[in-house]
Copies of this chain bind each other. A is one copy, B any other.
Amino acid sequence: MALIPRLDVAALDEQPLDPLTKGLPFGVPPMRLGDVGGQGWSLLAGDIPLPAAIIREDILRANSAWMRDFTAANDLLLAPHGKTTMSPHLFDLQIADGAWAITVATVQQLEVCRRFGVKRILLANQPVGRAAADACFGALRDEALELYCLADGEAGLALLADATRRNPPPPGNPLRILVEAGFTGGRTGARTRAEALALARGIAAMPGLQLAGFECFEGVLPTPQAADELIDDVAALASAALDEGLVAGEAPVVISAGGSSFFDRVGERFDRVSFSRPVLRVLRSGCYLTHDTMGYAKAFQRIVSETTLNLPAGGLEPALEVWAYVQSRPEAGRVMLTMGKRDVGFDAGLPQPQRWYRPASGMDAPQPIPGGHETVALNDQHCHLTVPQDSPLAFGDMVGFGIGHPCTTFDKWSMPLVVDEQYRVTKALKTYF
């Protein structure tokens, strides 16, 4: 496999936009991705077809800076999960704000990072399939790239061992492996500390692989207390592996956890353990960057109220919104909008109407949606809202929705739009889903 040609986001901005891209105004002249921000388009002026996914640039940058400050203040490193946005422009922002690495879930996502010059990548899964394993070792031929991936069992390790023999990595650039700690009834990961340590010993003995540490994904657990146990496993495993001399050389050891819902607990629990060597404590939060108005908003409230860690001023705010037109108000108490399952995530709560705007009406700015407006259903391309009899909403009005779980809204847009506080388009992103 050839070395992958490197692009940067400037090159991405040079790419011609397919005129059929969802979100692009109809009938515009041919343009490049990077031209979108200079068109003077305004969401509120009706320049953008709705539905549209927009990201408030001011909030995005503030969230990114907040997490930079939070991790710096608490001796944590950030490897934000790139699967959330799959946007090289946003990876760049995260790296500019000090991200230690970008995390990915699949080899296709790894390839996107590589192509856009990310130099340290954490594949937070065990590679499966000969092609995926070979792609990981192929990536190591670029000696400037540092690649971590997971192992959670002997079968996965055997696949990596075979791939190492087919594609020996350059000396000094081994495939770095984090052993995954899991829990009974959970997702991937060794079920006991003994199994995890046995796996670590196997990795330590394997040429071309390097035991680089331990990690878990605690995000599927229901409570902070349950997360604590799993996070403690990771720290204990790292401590034991160091004591046993399993980590070669002088490289620091990585301990890592998922982190969007419980990033306080990751910091607190990792802080309780002392290690015989420097340890990198890596959070992999992905959702902090745009945040949401539902589950992560609630999780953040808990963090702020409970944590013993250092909290910077400010906090995370929702940056990602989906806007739709009122398509019909066929009954006084019922409003239909031009947004559906194709346009907005619905796996962590239905989108919530938050503000509305009537184009060409002289309204200064979007107004808060009064109480009593509730999303009751989504079809593929429609949103059903129940509204009070005196709702102001009428055909042609624009409604901005808050979303839950940004990952499943991002993946519905190949071109999310970045806007300023007046909802003027400042930039177009490209996503790779």
Residues of A near any B CB (own CB < 8 A): 1-2, 4, 19-20, 22-23, 25-27, 46-47, 49-50, 83, 105-108, 111-112, 115, 125-126, 128-132, 134-135, 138, 152-153, 155-156, 159, 182, 184-191, 220, 325-331, 334, 336, 338, 341-342, 346-347, 359, 379-382, 384, 394-396, 407-408, 411-412, 414, 432-433
Contact = CB atoms under 8 A, between A and B. Distances in A.
Given A135-B26, A189-B330, A408 B380 contact: yes
11 contacts: A2-B27, A22-B432, A49-B106, A153-B330, A156-B395, A159-B396, A189-B328, A220-B379, A341-B408, A346-B347, A380-B407
Given A22-B433, A131-B47, A125 B188 contact: no
A320 to B, nearest CB: 15
Given A132-B49, A184-B331, A187-B379, A20 B155 contact: no
A112 B18 CA distance: 11
Contact of A188 (B128, B156, B336): B336
Contacts of A412: 411, 433
Given A4-B19, A152-B328, A411-B412, 8 more contacts: A23-B108, A26-B131, A27-B138, A50-B129, A106-B338, A126-B327, A128-B326, A129-B359
Given A155-B395, A159-B396, A327 B191 contact: no
Given A159-B396, A380-B105, A25 B131 contact: yes
Contacts of A331: 184-185, 191
Contact of A156 (B129, B182, B328, B347): B328
The 5 tightest CB contacts between A and B, nearest first, are: A1-B27, A155-B395, A128-B325, A105-B381, A26-B135
A70 B177 CA distance: 57
Given A156-B328, A156-B395, A412-B433, A185 B27 contact: no
Contacts of A411: 342, 412
A359 to B, nearest CB: 8
Contacts of A382: 187-188
A5 to B, nearest CB: 9
A433 B112 CA distance: 20
Nearest to A81: B380
Most B C-beta atoms less than 10 A away, residue of A135, A330, A433: A330
Nearest to A110: B26
A380 B197 CA distance: 28
Contacts of A129: 46, 49-50, 325, 359, 396
Given A155-B395, A394-B155, A126 B328 contact: yes
A155 B184 CA distance: 57
A49 B327 contact: no
Contacts of A2: 27
A9 to B, nearest CB: 14
A152 B330 contact: yes
Contacts of A135: 26-27
Nearest to A395: B155
A382 B22 CA distance: 27
Contacts of A153: 328-330, 395
A407 to B, nearest CB: 5
Contacts of A359: 129-130
B341 A107 contact: no
A327 B108 CA distance: 16
A187 B336 contact: yes
Nearest to A27: B1
Contacts of A46: 129-131
